[in-house]
Chain A
Amino acid sequence: MDILGSTRQAFALLLSGDAELWTIIWISLRVSLVALAAATPPAVVLGYALAQKRFPGRRILVVLIQGLLSFPTVVVGLILYILLTRQGPLGSWHLLFTQGAMIMGQAVIAFPVLTAFALAAVQGADPRAHETAVSLGASPLRATLTTLLEVRFAVVAGIFNGFGRVISEVGCAMMVGGNIAGVTRNIPTAIALETSKGDFAQGIALGVVLMLFALGISIALGLLQGRGGLK
């Protein structure tokens, strides 16, 4: 394998605006961003409730969420596959091997990460933030939003972490997406496929894009940290 030659070819592919390559990148971004947009609001609400409210089953839910953090993505894919297959309980939705199924899978994978970060953030929030909001006349909803805003750095860090987890996962995307070119082929499934075919150039090019995403996340977090009042 000529690593240097493949790397040169990879950058040439990226810079030439290769349609197939950029379609893969676009599908990856679209699926992951939609999945995060869908999972974030309920995850943050659950994280907040777990941190602030006392209700039966709370401890079990916390343990479950923490356990799901390390749940193998391929198992999420397997469960979703069983649900979405034509004979499955959700078979009538005709979602298997579509971006919709990938979005569902990635939302499920991101959910515990987002919830755990929101839970930790709200638990670590200064209790005076909520009390001050209430004392200044805020409604329960406004006081909740204010508390979340005060810990926004940690909540947003959770979103970035969730993004990092879903953009790079291959197991679920492969199982419920099916790696169909131009439809459900995303960066990780394309890397797996191209490498198995011996086409390292595209694999490296996509790997570079994934690493650039990781770097972008790190830079964005650093910027947020600077504005979040953290030292």
Chain B
Amino acid sequence: MSALLSFRHLRKSFGERELLDAGPFAIGEGEAYVITGDNGSGKTTLLRILAGLEEGEIAGFEFHGLPLDHGSLPDAVRHDIVYVHQHPYLFHTTIMHNIGYGLAARGIHGTERRRLAEEAIAWAGVDHLRAIYPPKLSGGEKQRVALARAKVLRPRLFLLDEPTANLDGEARGQAIALIRQLVQDQSSLLIACHDRELIELPGMRRFHLEGGKLTQV
């Protein structure tokens, strides 16, 4: 297994309280990982540090063989990692523009951007939501748009924070179906979650975070 992302040691403290003291840890290319743990165990913080959204002390941090300083990610790496919030934020614009946002940030414009966004809209099954203003979408619909917005960028690594939390019934099933498809497509995923169905997806590697330590289950 070639490591896509790895670190030797990761620490994060809030004042006196040490939240994370984990490592070594490695994510293999094309592998899916799930991290379980109680609320407040540091799952979200871990994902946010790896996404470059939060500072942490990381030793031996590497992405695709490239050594990285903790706390900041070069553009090339930032473009390879997409983090999706537990409650995704959709910009106050159309769904099309939301999904095309990251493409525009990568300099992809015009018909190519529209084509890729259309593909992602079809993949997530959100075509019927086009005319609805994003803040008015349900939690499940927002999650699907956010997954489409991430997938369209073809990142090397998806960091998904509790993608099915607060979803139930059909909405949860639809989000799980999209994530299952990402796993089947051999995307690299690191998912923080409690959802049994996601944890038990075939091919999922399981880790548990407790007392700041990551242990394989």
Contacts and interface: CB of A to CB of B under 8 A. Distances in A.
A144 to B, nearest CB: 13
Contacts, number: 58
Nearest to B107: A137
Interface string B120-161: 000000000000010100000000000001100100000000
Nearest to A143: B105
Nearest to A228: B92
Given A135-B51, A135-B53, A137-B102, A150 B85 contact: no
Interface residues of B, number: 25
B143 to A, nearest CB: 13
Contact of B53 (A134, A137, A142, A228): A134
Interface in A125-145: 126, 128-129, 131-139, 142
B11 interface: no
Nearest to A129: B89
B162 to A, nearest CB: 14
Interface of B: 51-53, 75, 78-79, 81-85, 87-89, 91-92, 101-102, 105-106, 133, 135, 149-150, 153
B133 A135 contact: no
A124 to B, nearest CB: 14
A138 B85 CA distance: 16
Nearest to A136: B102
Interface string A21-40: 00000000000000000000
B101 A136 contact: yes
Given A128-B89, A132-B88, A149-B92, 8 more contacts: A131-B89, A132-B91, A133-B101, A137-B75, A137-B78, A137-B153, A146-B91, A229-B135
Given A137-B78, A137-B106, A138-B105, A132 B89 contact: yes
Interface residues of A, number: 18
A121 to B, nearest CB: 13
Contacts of B75: 137, 139
A135 B83 CA distance: 6
